[in-house]
Amino acid sequence: MSTQTVKKVALAYSGGLDTSVILQWLRETYGCEVVTFTADLGQGEELEPARAKATAMGIQEIYIDDLKEEFVRDFVFPMFRANTIYEGEYLLGTSIARPLIAKRLIEIVNETGCDAICHGATGKGNDQVRFELGAYALKPDIKIIAPWREWELSSRETLLAYAEKHNIPIEMKRGKGSPYSMDANLLHISYEGGILEDPWAEPEEDMWRWSVSPEAAPDQATYVVLGYEQGDIVSIDGERLTPAQVLAQLNQLGGANGIGRLDIVENRYVGMKSRGAYETPGGTIMLKAHRAIESLTLDREVAHLKDELMPRYASLIYNGYWWSPERLMLQQMIDASQAKVNGEVRVKLYKGNVSVVGRQSASDSLFDMNIATFEDDKGAYNQKDAEGFIKLNALRMRIAAKKGAKFA
Amino acid sequence: MSTQTVKKVALAYSGGLDTSVILQWLRETYGCEVVTFTADLGQGEELEPARAKATAMGIQEIYIDDLKEEFVRDFVFPMFRANTIYEGEYLLGTSIARPLIAKRLIEIVNETGCDAICHGATGKGNDQVRFELGAYALKPDIKIIAPWREWELSSRETLLAYAEKHNIPIEMKRGKGSPYSMDANLLHISYEGGILEDPWAEPEEDMWRWSVSPEAAPDQATYVVLGYEQGDIVSIDGERLTPAQVLAQLNQLGGANGIGRLDIVENRYVGMKSRGAYETPGGTIMLKAHRAIESLTLDREVAHLKDELMPRYASLIYNGYWWSPERLMLQQMIDASQAKVNGEVRVKLYKGNVSVVGRQSASDSLFDMNIATFEDDKGAYNQKDAEGFIKLNALRMRIAAKKGAKFA
Amino acid sequence: MSTQTVKKVALAYSGGLDTSVILQWLRETYGCEVVTFTADLGQGEELEPARAKATAMGIQEIYIDDLKEEFVRDFVFPMFRANTIYEGEYLLGTSIARPLIAKRLIEIVNETGCDAICHGATGKGNDQVRFELGAYALKPDIKIIAPWREWELSSRETLLAYAEKHNIPIEMKRGKGSPYSMDANLLHISYEGGILEDPWAEPEEDMWRWSVSPEAAPDQATYVVLGYEQGDIVSIDGERLTPAQVLAQLNQLGGANGIGRLDIVENRYVGMKSRGAYETPGGTIMLKAHRAIESLTLDREVAHLKDELMPRYASLIYNGYWWSPERLMLQQMIDASQAKVNGEVRVKLYKGNVSVVGRQSASDSLFDMNIATFEDDKGAYNQKDAEGFIKLNALRMRIAAKKGAKFA
Amino acid sequence: MSTQTVKKVALAYSGGLDTSVILQWLRETYGCEVVTFTADLGQGEELEPARAKATAMGIQEIYIDDLKEEFVRDFVFPMFRANTIYEGEYLLGTSIARPLIAKRLIEIVNETGCDAICHGATGKGNDQVRFELGAYALKPDIKIIAPWREWELSSRETLLAYAEKHNIPIEMKRGKGSPYSMDANLLHISYEGGILEDPWAEPEEDMWRWSVSPEAAPDQATYVVLGYEQGDIVSIDGERLTPAQVLAQLNQLGGANGIGRLDIVENRYVGMKSRGAYETPGGTIMLKAHRAIESLTLDREVAHLKDELMPRYASLIYNGYWWSPERLMLQQMIDASQAKVNGEVRVKLYKGNVSVVGRQSASDSLFDMNIATFEDDKGAYNQKDAEGFIKLNALRMRIAAKKGAKFA
């Protein structure tokens, strides 16, 4: 695990200013070849400009991959099977994309004979951890270059000067003129920095990009029926869709109805609190609806065990441990729990609200109207059983109370 | 713990048909005296009619207690310190009231020399468990009478006939002509039964009683600032309020803005799934805002530990174990965690949405703008530290990968 | 789930006094046919007398099954993969046998057309729960008869009188003249009752049946090498053995060396504490050795997650939830974790002590001498990485301390 | 948190070769004053030689503190209240001493105006983390110097050469000629390195220093009665003792009876596995006995919750988070649970075995012989209650099975 010489580097390349500067800085600093990798994760940007720019900068090996289906199928959906939510609020939109990028980078390393990877994440954030833990797990001797932790180009001004000096085309890529640091993929768009650094300040309306405000959303509710198979959505209003299609359509529906905005202070893995704003229109619908289909089809104790393990599973993803044995172990349990999570959920979308208004499962409902009813159940349930149930559950406390324990 | 003769019974008495029939049935069945207990928990009903009715039925010892402040201070607020939510959705409005009623019933038993208590909860539900576990924990040899598990009056028709025969005034109390079985207190109102027994059916708009629909809520958002001390709300918009006043005002604000409706299938402790609808306007605001003030003032690991224990804590309350040693033990930890949860949260209420738009804590914020900033932090944080942090966190996976482990 | 008429009952039959009386009582009480089922779980008793006795009592359908291999392979071994131990001490020898008996009883019900099962466990213990939860899970409408909860034969004297009256051969089966209530299978033998009901009293030496005392054990230690595949022992000292052979041999080795005696107070599921003594010679060796092979081959976080879930898994087994969806879900995770738990453990057995003195895994050891060494590691590990690791792990506490938090 | 100049350093000083070299190296490297701190934690070594040596090296401020009582009272005892054990085996003898040293170092820093601390732990181990996390939590801007991560003196030879050059008295202090790296305090002595680096090799008998081998222990068992108050041992055989006296006496008793040897592979926080051997004679007795007194006096659910949280609590201590808010929060819960853990435990010590042979609590036993008995309980427990208890606990599985779920 010692320091190696670097001959060829696979760079996670967005085509923006930062990673273009990094591209040049890598060649200058290490005298190495660079392979660029740009992923389409549904961030909603043209990727061909990235290709053009890389070509213009003399790159020979350029990878531009559409990973949208893999992203949703193998990362987003498995995560939602666990009703995953970090710190009670955050749907992990950025966190869940990083392990896929790490995996693809390492594949490219293996295909092209690189000896190092490079990314543009800063030394203060979570993304560096996510990229690097993934890379190390998948290729333990990989050399990782994180320019933001190394170089002197620590301000925007020095970056711009460096770009000018090296004829790197500048187009204010980062945030496209926005004061915010942003990240987007099919699951969400995130905002950090700018006035968000004051946690008392309300985000300005024009910051949000993926959703209308609840105020601006239609006055008429939209009803949608989501079809589930083994915990994943496979259809919307009866139309069978691929995973990425599902999420894209839910984003459209959610965004149009003002759904999925979030404004939080969160705890980064590297130890500080940070303020972030997120838009996750489709994911917000998915979380709510998944809980609803589970409420009908999942055993109580299985559901409760999932709930108790969820915060840890969420932290694993947030902290970058997607490619770890403990995440894999938890995933096996989570996936196993979803075998009977089949059926339909009907949701109402209205001005920021996602309301579940119906759930059914022809094959796997555990809801038994005959037993639950307040009406005559024709002997399906013997109410007298409850007496013994309560008495034995109370026994340890009765014994303790008789021995003098005070519970109030 | 053997069966005793019953001479005098403390009855949880609402004044409605069911508990009036029970009152008479107790006297007839056991030849006993009855003490009635009616609690004002903020359910929004006149209690004097209950007194009149009990008097008319010849009851000598009538307890009518305003427990609203105790309810919110000693039950609702402690529960919200844990961000408690059952099965991802339910705010435990009914569950949290039962232990207080059990406690007060036992106090009345001790004051009046009763040898038994009686309640009107059915043998199919959670409430019987909550009443009885509480009573047993606080008075282990108490005799408990649960008529619904014993008697033959199992249908509404037989109840009505019994009432008529015994000249018990009938006023369709249960649900006041509503097809739903309802329960209310200052935290929420609940609905079960009727068309809700079909989990695919959407509740009708006229079922809801405490909130306007999001559609009918004002087109203008309401902003409110909530002041926190040790995890509890002590002021609204700068005005210092008692716990019950806080909740009452938040109910008013929430209800007016279409906030707090919930429609779920839940898992009862006695083993079946049931469909319920709830309105918890103030509680919905409180949960969201409490997370926000904690996000600023609570240590990450403390917050995560709370999150991991919360589902179990919620189940304890749901299942009726408020007066148990394990709930008390958890509460000590939860309360200890709140010492520094002080500050203000600003929320926006709009057509069903509660959005946190600001949080601050002059005394206890752990948010450090200097460290979190993407701008120059003047050396507050050394980005190079991240490399070692990641490398050692990756070490076990690197070793495993070198030995052949496959993580993807 | 209503009460049915009983025509034919499958009885868990030991051949002893209690279950012989039950056999007769069933016929008398229900006018039903009885099918007897006697399992060889390695309890070390001849089963043919049970057959003779059942025949003598006129039983037509007699099941006597050797379930030793199934017991160890499908119940004991899976349980030990989790390092399962109840309340820090108990190896669950009785608990783990019950679900197998329940399963086989239900198979017999299905084969012979019974409409009920019957067992001889009392209404105070855990075994009734284990039998019945298993039976209900595997055949939800099964009728269960638990005579000890129903009949009037509540004392030994009335039992004997009943036996005499009905010409049931009496041979003091229960405990064979022992003052203790005992249960045995290939994993353990248990003792309850008698002087054990006083938790201050030390068990008498002649109570123990499966092991010599440490004092009486050989003065020379015995060394054994256990071979593991996927978490299970497959060989002893290089000799490949079946699961039941493994356990039988370890019992022999352990018992001869005074290993596996336990004397505890435990918490029963039905709510009271009870005192029990156990001999688990082979199991005690297995627990210790399994931890050792895992210590070499299991990832740290996987091992820790297993440790955190283990108490709950143990409670599930103790409480009778082997045939529950949550146990199955946990098992999937546990089994998945064992894929690389391969290698050898060398243990020293000496007068009650099991000491691990060596562990190795040619294929799957994660122990890396080059990294762990205090000698020169030739750059395998960069000590400087530790500084950043510590600094970032300390960051949240440093920020808090600067804001005034006091940790000491 | 930037790098400061270092004027005066508080050094954790053992008087041995390593820390003597460090002392000189600090002065040479930083041109700073050095304050030495040597703690008596019961390691069983004379400390006056350390004073003499420090004086001889020209140190003006020399701290030599007897911390034995504080160590056991405020660190060891609180930890044992949780039945703490790391990875199923390790009693955390080294881990629990480090936070006390960190705390005292910081106190000395505050008293003497140091601007840095220094310790002699390597960059590969856990101790550096424990020292430094503690120091940062208690004094967030403290400068920490860890020579082993910085200097070039990475081998024993260079150390010796440096010592010779600077006239530092050499006496082969480290391990006193032993091939093992050792650490000792009143709770344990540990061994690492040497042949232990091969996990298949059995430690040689002459490595062990604190205990006789089981083989060499007396042929006669020793019986001891331990008196508990609130979870801590306050007397042995009726004689009231201070915490340090308790542990010292138990060490003597345990060591003489061959108790407390351990040989494991463990997972370090910095990411690798390492092999260690430990002698914890008194601690081994304490763990076993504490579980026994809890078995009698602790509520089942409280005990189980403690068991589930214990592995995490153990990891916190192992990883160095004693002075963290989450450890403090857990401790509050643990301590609260011990209010009624009062009584006596009788243990038998014999050739490596600790057997609990009796436990009693006049004031707080929850063991109720009348209820637990297999004999006639005179109605204390109604066996019929078990039927309802089981039926409702089975209900969710019965419903699922009827809907087609397969549990076997």
pTM over 0.95: yes
In this structure, are residues B81 and B87 in contact, taking their beta carbons and an 8 Å threshold? no
pLDDT single digits (tens) A122-173: 999 999 999 999 999 999 999 999 999 999 887 888 889 999 999 987 764 4
Catalytic residue among A178, A181, A295, A324: A181
What lies within 8 Å, CB to CB, of A303 at 6+ separation is A294, A295, B87, B267
Q: Where are the alpha helices (DSSP H) in D320-353?
A: 325-337
In-domain check, residue C323: no
Report pLDDT for C111.
Answer: 98
Bridge partners, A61 (sequence order): A35
Strands A239-240 and A261-267, sheet pairing: unpaired
Does C22 share its domain with C134? Answer: yes
Rounded Cα gap, residues B295 and B287, in angstroms:
12
Give the pLDDT band (50/70/90) at residue C2: very low
Report pLDDT for B177.
Answer: 65
CATH classification at residue D354: 3.90.1260.10
In-domain check, residue D317: no
Report pLDDT for C370.
Answer: 85
The answer to whether D333 contacts B337, with C-beta atoms less than 8 Å apart, is no
Contact A292/B at CB under 8 A: yes
Report pLDDT for C174.
Answer: 47
Q: Which of D141, D166, D191 is the last residue of a domain?
A: D166
In-domain check, residue C208: no
Q: Which A residues 325-364 touch D at CB under 8 Å? A: 340, 364
- DSSP string for C32-99: -EEEEEEEESS-S--SHHHHHHHHHTT-S-EEEEE-HHHHIIIIIHHHHHTT--BTTTB--TTTTTHH
* Contacting residues of A for C271, CB less than 8 Å apart: 392-396, 399
* Contacting residues of C for B368, CB less than 8 Å apart: 399
What lies within 8 Å, CB to CB, of D16 at 6+ separation is D171, D173, D174
pLDDT single digits (tens) D30-79: 999 999 999 999 999 889 999 999 999 999 999 999 999 999 999 999 99
Query: In the predicted model, what is the mean pLDDT of residues C290-294?
Result: 98
Strands A239-240 and A232-236, sheet pairing: antiparallel
Strands D33-40 and D8-12, sheet pairing: parallel
Q: What is the CA radius of gyration of chain B?
A: 25
Does B126 share its domain with B223? Answer: no
Does D71 share its domain with D134? Answer: yes
Report pLDDT for B176.
Answer: 52
Report pLDDT for C178.
Answer: 77
How many structural domains does chain D have? 2
Q: Exposed, middle or buried: residue A378 (CB in 10 Å: 0-12, 13-18, 19+)?
A: exposed
Query: In the predicted model, what is the mean pLDDT of residues D82-100?
Result: 98
Report pLDDT for C1.
Answer: 36
Q: Comparing C-alpha atoms, which of A342, A316, A132 is closest to residue A231? A: A342
In-domain check, residue A224: yes
Contact A158/B at CB under 8 A: no
Q: Exposed, middle or buried: residue B167 (CB in 10 Å: 0-12, 13-18, 19+)?
A: exposed
**Using a CB cutoff of 8 Å and minimum separation of 24, what contacts does D24-30 make?**
D24/D57, D24/D162, D24/D166, D24/D168, D25/D147, D25/D151, D25/D153, D25/D162, D26/D118, D26/D145, D26/D147, D29/D151, D30/D6, D30/D116, D30/D145
Does A248 share its domain with A158? Answer: no
- Closest-approach residue (CA) in chain C for B340: C405
Contact D295/C at CB under 8 A: yes
Q: Where are the alpha helices (DSSP H) in D95-171?
A: 98-112, 127-138, 147-150, 156-165
Contact D62/C at CB under 8 A: no
Residue C383 corresponds to which tokens in the numbers above? 């000590």
Whole-number mean pLDDT of chain D?
A: 94
In this structure, are residues A305 and A234 in contact, taking their beta carbons and an 8 Å threshold? no
Per-residue tens of pLDDT for chain B, all 408 residues: 335 689 999 999 999 999 999 999 999 999 999 999 999 999 998 899 999 999 999 999 999 999 999 999 999 999 999 999 999 999 999 999 999 999 999 999 999 999 999 999 999 999 999 999 999 999 999 999 999 999 988 788 888 999 999 998 776 444 456 789 999 999 999 999 999 999 999 999 999 999 999 999 999 999 999 999 999 999 999 999 999 999 999 999 999 999 999 999 999 999 999 999 999 999 999 999 999 999 999 999 999 999 999 999 999 999 999 999 999 999 999 999 999 999 999 999 999 999 999 999 999 999 998 887 767 777 789 999 999 999 999 999 999 999 999 998
Does B27 share its domain with B97? Answer: yes
Rounded Cα gap, residues A260 and A246, in angstroms:
16
In this structure, are residues A33 and A118 in contact, taking their beta carbons and an 8 Å threshold? no
Strands B232-236 and B116-118, sheet pairing: unpaired
- Reply yes or no on whether A98 is catalytic: yes
What lies within 8 Å, CB to CB, of A265 at 6+ separation is A199, A273, A274, A275, A276, B292, B295, B296, B359, B367
In this structure, are residues C97 and C41 in contact, taking their beta carbons and an 8 Å threshold? yes
Q: For D381, phi and psi rounded to 5 degrees?
A: -140, 130
Any idea what DSSP says for residue A125? S
Does A157 share its domain with A248? Answer: no
* Contacting residues of B for C387, CB less than 8 Å apart: 385, 388
* Nearest residue, CB atoms, A389 vs list B270, B300, B366: B270
Report pLDDT for B369.
Answer: 85
- DSSP string for B145-213: E-HHHH-S--SHHHHHHHHHHTT-----TGGGG-SSEEEE-SS-EEEESGGGGSTTSPPPGGG--SS--
Distance of residue B322 Cα from the nearest chain D Cα, in angstroms? 13
E-only strand ranges, B313-377: 343-350, 353-360
Residue A68 corresponds to which tokens in the numbers above? 């949208």
Q: Comparing C-alpha atoms, which of C183, C190, C174, C192 is closest to residue C275? A: C192
Query: Per mean pLDDT, which range of A362-376, C19-33, C228-242, D34-48 is the poorest?
Result: A362-376
Rounded Cα gap, residues B75 and D86, in angstroms:
37
Rounded Cα gap, residues A48 and A54, in angstroms:
10
Does C15 share its domain with C134? Answer: yes
Whether residue A336 has pLDDT greater than 80: yes
Query: In the predicted model, what is the mean pLDDT of residues D378-389?
Result: 91
Q: Comparing C-alpha atoms, which of D285, D237, D230 is closest to residue D257? A: D285
C120 has binding-site annotation: yes
Report pLDDT for C176.
Answer: 52
What domain range includes position B90?
A: 8-166
CA distances from D69 to A152, D153, D187 (A): 52, 36, 12
Give the pLDDT band (50/70/90) at residue D341: very high
Give the pLDDT band (50/70/90) at residue C379: confident
- Reply yes or no on whether A149 is catalytic: no
In this structure, are residues A10 and A114 in contact, taking their beta carbons and an 8 Å threshold? yes
Contact B192/A at CB under 8 A: yes
Whether residue D343 has pLDDT greater than 50: yes
- Reply yes or no on whether C181 is catalytic: yes
Does B115 share its domain with B26? Answer: yes
In-domain check, residue A244: yes
Give the pLDDT band (50/70/90) at residue D174: very low
Catalytic residue among A81, A98, A174, A275: A98
Give the pLDDT band (50/70/90) at residue A177: low
Q: What is the ipTM of this complex?
A: 0.96
Whether residue D173 has pLDDT greater than 60: no
Residues in chain C: 408
Most confident of A4-8, B13-17, D357-361: D357-361
- DSSP string for D184-248: E-SS-EEEESGGGGSTTSPPPGGG--SS--GGGS-SS-EEEEEEEETTEEEEETTEE--HHHHHH
Does B132 share its domain with B33? Answer: yes
In-domain check, residue C370: no
Contact B384/A at CB under 8 A: yes
**How far is C-alpha C5 from the geometric centre of its chain's CA atoms?**
35
Q: Suggest the residue from A126, A329, A366, A395 to mutate for an interface test with chain C (most C CBs closer than 10 A).
A: A329
Does B16 share its domain with B133? Answer: yes
What lies within 8 Å, CB to CB, of C166 at 6+ separation is C21, C24
Does C130 share its domain with C20? Answer: yes
* Contacting residues of B for D270, CB less than 8 Å apart: 392, 395
Strands B222-229 and B232-236, sheet pairing: antiparallel
pLDDT single digits (tens) D131-145: 999 999 999 999 999
In-domain check, residue B15: yes
Whether residue A4 has pLDDT greater than 70: no
* Contacting residues of C for B388, CB less than 8 Å apart: 382, 384-389, 391
The answer to whether B374 contacts A193, with C-beta atoms less than 8 Å apart, is yes
Q: Where are the alpha helices (DSSP H) in C320-384?
A: 325-337, 369-372
- Closest-approach residue (CA) in chain D for C124: D383
Query: In the predicted model, what is the mean pLDDT of residues A98-106?
Result: 98
In-domain check, residue B232: yes
CA distances from A295 to A101, A289, D76 (A): 34, 10, 46
CA distances from D190 to C8, D16, D186, D310 (A): 65, 17, 12, 22
CA distances from A390 to A136, A222, A223, B132, C146 (A): 53, 45, 42, 7, 20
Catalytic residue among C81, C98, C104, C359: C98
Does A159 share its domain with A25? Answer: yes
What letters, b where the CB count within 10 A reaches 16 and e where it falls short, cover D314-329?
bbbbbbbbbbbbbbbb
Q: Suggest the residue from D198, D300, D406 to mutate for an interface test with chain C (most C CBs closer than 10 A).
A: D300
Chain A, chain D: beta-carbon pairs less than 8 Å apart = 64
